[in-house]
Structure 1
Amino acid sequence: MNTPRRTELLAAGAATVTVVLWASAFVSIRSAGTAYSPGALALGRLLAGALTLGVICLVRREGWPPRAAWRGIAVSGVLWFGFYMVALNWGEQEVDAGTAALVVNIGPLLIALLGARFLGDRLPPRLLAGMAVSFAGAVTVGLSMSGGGGSSLLGVVLCLLAAVGYAGGVVAQKPALGRASALQVTTFGCLVGAVVCLPFAGQLVHQAADAPVPATLNMVYLGVFPTALAFTTWAYALARTTAGRMGATTYAVPALVVLMSWLALGEVPGALTLAGGALCLAGVAVSRSRRRPRAATAEDTPEPRPEQTSRSA
């Protein structure tokens, strides 16, 4: 297998790991969120993730990232690891799950637009078409899950801000991955996010003392797998493709959340929810597909001019 093809398959595999683990995070957040406030949950998750990543870095002797990578690491750490997690945790307490999924899923669209503006990424027609199909699927899933009440303007605004923080963090992280390894960028971005969330340390200590064991275990799970592992595999894949294509891949998350909620929580999805999930997956397939080169035909070969024929003779 040639190297470019192998690299593409490894990146696709890493993206798949990320999407599956991020989908599982929504199920765990529902459990941990009953015992922990948004800021405390974000800080506990980031501390568990930073500890796991720090041990891996020490074993692999990764060292400190180059100075040129720190700007992207710091911005992504503040926007994505810190601000996004707190805003999303808070927003999901103010709106129903369907509304949250609908609003947060403008993130991939923002990533594509910001990537084109600041990173010079191309916006091929297949990417745009796939994102449109996936967004329609996310809207369908959101509408099918909405209606349970409890939504508020504050919650919608928080979810919108979370989507903006997510998109800004991804676009800031992309240049840093050209100067440092995926593990370095993820580890130190997680540390920056943890520092941003330190004001919630008092809440975390107080709530951990009274929280049930399953809620705390879910918080630790969020730090080790959807954060430490999934953010690293995300960075690995992002370093090998455009921000827009990676953002489009995350549209598979709503479909997987529906499936995991069905299997783990016994929440049987309706026909409209299943249709929306199918649209999400179809859009991801379209956005990640590539146009096959057209085979050369006889019509593509120019007729030799008379003087060319005489010379060859």
Structure 2
Amino acid sequence: MTTTPAPAAPRDWRTPAAACTSVLLWASAFVSIRSAGDAYSPGALALGRLLAGGLALGTLLVLRREGLPPRAAWPGILWSGLLWFGLYMVVLNWGEREVDAGTAAMVVNIGPLLIALLGARVLGEVLPGRLVAGMAVSFAGAVVVGLSLSGHGGASGLGVALCVLAAAAYAAGVVAQKPALRHGSALQVTAFGCLIGAAACLPFAGTLVSEAAEAPLSATLNMVYLGLFPTALAFTTWAYALARTTAGRLGATTYAVPALVVVMSWLLLDEVPAPLAVGGGLLCLAGVAVSRSGEQTGRTRGGRAQPVEGRRDDTERQAGERSR
């Protein structure tokens, strides 16, 4: 007697769609930061962006009546707000005053590798040898990008260093945010993280007011765009996707950002990274490819092979049992 196999469950398109939305909007952010950076200093631009994003997210929170997140979510919200919404945005704005948008995106793209490293250190995830090799290749790519800019003075090298710091802040923020999403919704975690980042940037309020009075309308509109779309919308769709997959796998979706930024900056800003900088960026991506190869299964610390998704499901189920 033959049995009819059960129909396959329909694939959930919402998570990849949310991730793609974040990637596209974050790519546009590099271009908008570069455009607004002539009129707004790094701290003022970050504060204006976060205030616009916080206002939009706060309004949505009130309309949806979600209220405050549970107490268990606050440590992750606090750290992601300080590191990702606060430090990352200020340092990235500063870095993009020194290097072009495409180069900045390439260097910041080492962030996914740092996410995996921090996940192994902080969350106890397995750190395979391929990941270590990939990190070495990607950091070599960042060095090549720096060398390609060395002929333009020390400020360019400073720009690369700032973008590396931005990548580290971004990675730490993602790792901090992941546990918070087990307790709070994507909107709650994003909204309060954005508000914490805005509070951390309040020392730049005076500068923001004085610069806004003299800035051209196009720069101010770019700042508002950064708050509403690459911040309010893109960070929420990212949190939605992050709650449904691992940080490392979701981080892989951001590997498309540098290519999108180069195209956007060429079309909108008429700037393309130097050939050696492109080569360094490709080295960063090659390191990512090395780190991601052979990742369908892995070994737990107990030595038992298990699918990546299976490990994630087990970990989250155990966390839920402990929280009860």
- TM-score normalised by length of structure 2: 0.76
Of 188, 192, 203, the match for 2:192: 188
Of residues 246, 252, 257, the one that matches 1:248 is: 252
Whether the 8 Å CA contact 2:106–2:258 is kept in 1: the answer is: no
Alignment partner of 1:224 is 2:228? yes
**How many angstroms apart in 2 are the aligned matches of 1:154 and 1:134?**
18
Q: In the alignment, does 2:180 pair up with 1:161?
A: no
Q: Does 1:211 find its partner at 2:221?
A: no
- The equivalent residue for 2:11 is 6
Contact 1:262 1:269 in 2 (8 A): no
**Residues in 2 aligned to 1:51 and 1:115: alpha-carbon distance in whole angstroms:** 31
**What residue in structure 1 maps to residue 19 of structure 2?**
15
Gaps of 5+ in 2: 1-6, 298-324
Q: Which moved more, 1:281-290 or 1:106-115?
A: 281-290
Aligned twin of 1:310: none
Does the 8 A contact of 1:53 with 1:187 survive in 2?
yes
- Residue 96 of structure 1 corresponds to 99
Letter in 1 for 2:40: Y
Greater C-alpha Rg:
1
Name the residue aligned to 1:236: 240
Bigger shift: 179-188 or 149-158? 149-158
Moved more, 51-60 or 192-201: 51-60
**Aligned partner of 2:175 among 171, 176, 190:** 171
Deviations 1:239-267 (A, max 9, x none): 11111222232221111101111222334
Q: CA deviation at 1:34?
A: 0.5
In 2: Cα distance, 1:268 partner to 1:72 partner: 37
Using the alignment, how far apart are the partners of 2:167 and 2:218 within structure 1? 28
| Shift of residue 47, structure 1, vs aligned partner | 0.3
- Whether the aligned pair in 1 keeps the contact of 2:150 and 2:157 (CA below 8 Å) is no
- Single out whichever of 97-106 and 136-145 deviates more from structure 2: 136-145
The answer to whether 1:67 aligns with 2:71 is yes
Distance in 1, matches of 2:293 and 2:63, equals 35
8 Å contact kept, 1:42–1:86: yes
Deviation, 1:116, is: 1.6
The percentage of aligned residue pairs carrying the same residue is 73
CA–CA distance in structure 1, aligned partners of residues 130 and 62 of structure 2: 42
Q: How big is the shift at 1:60? A: 1.6
Check conservation: 2:146, 2:160, Cα contact below 8 A: no
Q: Using the alignment, how far apart are the partners of 1:77 and 1:29 within structure 2?
A: 19
Is the 8 Å Cα contact of residues 238 and 246 (structure 1) preserved in structure 2?
Answer: yes
Cα distance change on mapping 1:219 and 1:99 into 2, 3 Å: same
Aligned in 2, Cα 1:127/1:11: closer, same or farther, shift over 3 Å?
A: farther
Aligned pairs for 1:117-156 (under 5 A) are 117-123=121-127, 148-149=152-153, 151=155, 154-156=158-160
User: Which structure 1 residue ranges, 5 or more long, are not aligned?
Assistant: 293-313
Equivalences, count = 289
